[in-house]
Amino acid sequence: MPIRTNRGRAAVYRRLWGFPLRSPRHLAGTAIAVAVLLVGLGIAIPQLLGPRQSDQVTPARIKDPSSSAAAVPPGTSSTTLPTRLTAPLVQPTSAAPAPEALDVAKRWAQAWVNHPDGITNAQWLDGLRPYTTEEYLAQMSTVDPRNIPAKQVTGEPRATESYTSSVLVIVPTDGPQLSITVARTPGGWLVAGYDQAS
């Protein structure tokens, strides 16, 4: 049995690779065959592998400010974000300010200005705790009570925006006015944020 040598293999490769170069018709036929093969592979491979994880977009977990739990439609994952809005955003419903929300804002402001000399951050936070959401109380842990520029509340709380799930309240102090956001939670009305108003 004859043994194929390297020289014999080279001749086969030359014939194979030289085929498209023999004539313009061979070159065009080879180019068309390669294009058809690539298109076929581009269609067949994704169907064999199935859809990619990134192609399966499910609605993200959306928090409702009036509830501490987030709603996720049944049968969907909460780990991916949608690429576009699929429904209009829900507009908050206007409502008369709840007296309980105004009372919580006033009590929170009174606890905020209560920082006698020597008070620690932990002691100051204990005064705010009954009126503050747990999430916002954690943010307040970085505040140094010695830096608070007010000592007393000087007037009654006044609602500037009021919805069924939240109320924005202005409380005057002997320092800056406080703009306090009070939110309805399962535990009642609690402060979820504040800023110093002008």
For residue 137, give the CATH number of its domain: 3.10.450.540
Specify the number of domains making up the chain.
Answer: 2
In a domain? residue 1: no
In a domain? residue 140: yes
pLDDT given for residue 24 in this prediction: 81
C-beta of residue 153 within 8 angstroms of C-beta of residue 106: yes
What is the residue range of 19's domain? 6-49
Burial class (CB in 10 A: 0-12, 13-18, 19+), 45: exposed
In a domain? residue 127: yes
Tokens of 121: 């951050």
- Per-state percent for the chain, helix, strand, coil, to nearest 5: 40, 20, 40
In a domain? residue 175: yes
Amino acid at the residue 151: K
pTM for the structure as a whole: 0.55
pLDDT given for residue 171 in this prediction: 95
Counting as low any pLDDT under 70, the low residues of the chain are: 1-6, 10-13, 16-17, 50-90, 198
Last residue of a domain, one of 49, 68, 84: 49
39 and 128 in a single domain? The answer is no
pLDDT given for residue 158 in this prediction: 93
In a domain? residue 58: no
In a domain? residue 132: yes
pLDDT given for residue 39 in this prediction: 87
Average pLDDT, the chain: 79
pLDDT given for residue 109 in this prediction: 94
41 and 106 in a single domain? The answer is no
Cα 112 to its chain centre, rounded Å, is 30
128 and 190 in a single domain? The answer is yes
Tokens of 122: 């932990």
pLDDT given for residue 70 in this prediction: 45
Give the residue from 151, 156, 43 showing the smallest Cα distance to 99. 156
pLDDT given for residue 170 in this prediction: 94
pLDDT given for residue 128 in this prediction: 94
pLDDT given for residue 89 in this prediction: 61
Q: Is the dihedral of CA 140, 141, 146, 147 positive or negative?
A: negative
pLDDT given for residue 185 in this prediction: 92
